[in-house]
Every structure is written in C-alpha cells, then in structure tokens.
Amino acid sequence: MLIIANTLDFNGGTTFILRYCRESYRRGKRMGVLVMTGKNASPLPLYHEICKYADVYYLEEFMRFSASRALSNTPLIGFLPINIESVNKIIIKHNNSVHVMGVFGLLFINKVVGKISSMVRISVGIYHQNEFMFNSNWYFTKLVHRIFKKISSNGVVFFNEANINSYSIFFDIDYSSATLVPIGIELPLQQGVCYGSSSGRQIVSIGNLYNFKTYNQHIITIMPSLIKLDPEFSYEIYGDGPYEKELREIVEKLGIVDKVNFNGRIPYSEFATVLHGAFMFVGSGTALVEAAALGVPAMIGIESSKQAITYGFLNEINGYSYNEFEINRTTFEMQDKIQIILDDSESWERVSKFCQDKAADFSISKTYELIEKREYSFPVLIPEKMNVFIRWRVIFSFLLCIFFHVCKIDRSFSNRRDQGTIS
C-alpha cells in the first residue's frame, strides 16, 4: 500500500503513519509513503524513524520542471506538472493500492489515475471529522466532493462510529458498511504499568495548538478554580501552533502565568516521559488514547466546543467515538469530572485502570489487521474527467481561495476543521 500524506509535520496523522508502517514492517511488508510537499533540507522529526519501516517519497522528486520547486511546500504542488510514469511505478511497486489522508491527496490521485492505464484500488481515511465534510462554494472543493462520493462506502475508512453517521447524512450515502477501525496506538510492552499519580497535580496536554482544540483554553479558564481547591495544580502544555499567542494572552489576563507552562514541542519518543507523575491528561486524537494506555486518567476534549464540557474520561465512551461533536450526546462540566478524581484517590485509581483497559481496544495491531483484510476489496478509482479547461478552472479556483483567505474575506475552506462549533 502507498499512503499519500499531506505532510510529515509532527501531528497525530504523522505519528499514526509511523505506527502503521512499523506494524506492517513487523509483519514482513514494507509500505510506501508519498508526501505532498518538497523534501526539506532539514528532515522533519519523524522522517528518519518512518524511513526505517517504509519507502518515503516527496512529490517534489517527481516534478517535471525544477522552477516549479519554489512552490513545492505549498498545496499548489499537486496541481503542477509531474512525471506521471514515475509516480505510476511507485504505485505499482506498492501493490496498486493507495490510501489517501486528505483533500489534496485525493485531488492528486484523481489526476494521476486519469493519465495511467493501471487499475488503482483506493481508500480514503477520515482523520478529522471535517477534512472532507465541509461547506464551501469554491469549485475545487465541489470537485473534491464529487470525487469523494465516487469512492462509495467500500473505499472509506472511518476511525469512529460518529463520523460514519455524520458522513452518511452529509453526503446522503449509507456508510454503514464502510471499514471501521480504531485509530491505532502501540500499547506499552508492560501492560498495567501506571505512569500517572493520584497525588500529582499536573494536568497535561500534548498536541499542536490549533483553534479547534478549544479544550486548551477551557482548562486554562478553570485553572483559578482548581488552584483554590489545591494550590499545587498546574497545567503543562506540550506543543506549539497558531493558537498559542491567544492562549498566552488568556493566561496573562487571568494572572496564572506561574501555573500554566508552555513547554513547546517534544520528540515523540518523550511522550511517556512527560506523563510521569501526572494527575490527568486532557486532549483529543491519538494522544488521548496513548495517555490512557499509560494509566493516566484521560479526559476527552471535545473539539470546537465553546464551553468547558467533556464526554468524560476515555473509559466512559462506547466504541471508538470520543472527541467529535455529536448532537444530543451527554456532556459533563470539565471541573466536575476533575473534582471526582480529586476528592477520592480510589476514584482516581479506578478511572486510571478503566482508561488503560479501554485503550487496549485501540491497538495498532487491530487497526492493521482490519485494513489489510479489506484492502483487496477497496474500489478501483474511476477518475473524474478533467480536460484542460477544467484543470485550469480548478487551479484558478484554488488561487482565488488563497487570495480570499489572505484578505480575510472567505476562510471557509482553510477553517473547515472548525466548522460546526458547539455553543
């Protein structure tokens, strides 16, 4: 299988690629990863690690004109002239099976398949609820929706039940028979070892700081109340991103600079280390499950929520749905959930154990086995026909989208992951 990734930036998608490729390698199969960017002079943090288990290619390597490389680190790279036959060779090398992780990867593979004779099986992973499920009037986004609908339920890989329901409604397609897998993590070698501590008072979050991850702000907002309960409380934030400036301003306004620490980005290998002695973890994505696997009570941060609410701890969910918004789903005040495990050490121990047990359901081994089982039944992509006029219309539409974004006129596409904000 060849994975088409938007980037190898340090995020949940890239760490998933690492875990998935490592699992495949352990089973005797070396995968391919095609990255929709240029090859950076200084390789990204996880690049060398992924290269141990997979063949990594950068789209820049396949560009026809060296002058085009000035645009290789922008989403425009997928629209530029490339050596189609060279790309076809790596698709064939990896069993004519392609797994797409995002919008631009889908547009790119549609272009490639339309110019080659090979039959390419395709699957599309839903790594964020709104990666494909968004409202936008731009022509190129409407094209994405048309291509996505062609994939049908057989070719979409969902990582939770909530997205199956929401995508079925949005696209008016029954996705109930689609592939459902956990967003796999590697379980600790020593099962049952607890990294957290009921007597600790550090609340930890690890992840990129984006505006849809509103739980960072909510924990900061309730910190003054938590400090009144116990002055030893602190909030340790690991990660960086565009939301950091706003978060720092809130911290300063509340006068809790000494209680909220912005520790910057850490190597993935240090994930477990920073959780030693932690009282609790709060977050979304795979980081939440990985923290739970280490025995740290893992409280769910609901993405884009305007209120300091949660679905509870990871062990309180059914199935695989935890951080996506669902209408009519029961929520709790974050502070109430924290107080329960603060007031009673036995409650802390119980939640720690139950979170660890629940995390076992998200094993990367299970993820790999389920996808491998379905791989040969993924549909062959019938590409959306694109003549010269349509190709230029798509490019012009995307350029206009960029212009409107820069001018702050229309950011509906770039902010698609923050759509459907909960009030």
Give the CATH number of domain 202-362; options: 1.10.3720.10, 3.40.50.2000, 3.10.129.10, 3.20.20.70: 3.40.50.2000
Report pLDDT for 72.
Answer: 67
Report pLDDT for 43.
Answer: 66
Report pLDDT for 384.
Answer: 86
Model confidence at 124, in pLDDT bands (50, 70, 90)?
very high
Going by the DSSP 8-state scheme, the letter that residue 56 receives in this structure is E
pLDDT in tens, 82-120: 899 999 999 999 999 999 999 999 999 999 999 998 899
Task: Enumerate the domain spans of the chain.
Answer: 2-184+369-418, 202-362
At how many degrees (to 10) do helices 103-113 and 139-151 cross?
70
Q: What are phi and psi of 32, to 5 degrees?
A: -120, 150
pLDDT in tens, 153-197: 999 999 999 999 999 999 999 999 999 999 999 998 667 789 999
Threshold 0.85, pTM exceeds: yes
Residues 6+ apart with CB under 8 A from 201: 230, 232, 233, 234, 279
Written out in words, the top-level CATH class of the domain with range 2-184+369-418 is: alpha beta
Q: Are 81 and 62 in contact (CB under 8 A)?
A: no
Topology match between the domains 2-184+369-418 and 202-362:
yes
Higher per-residue pLDDT: 411 or 236 = 236
User: Of 267, 345, 370, which is closest to residue 49 (Cα–Cα)?
Assistant: 267
pLDDT in tens, 18-55: 999 999 999 999 999 999 988 775 567 789 999 999 99
Model confidence at 10, in pLDDT bands (50, 70, 90)?
confident
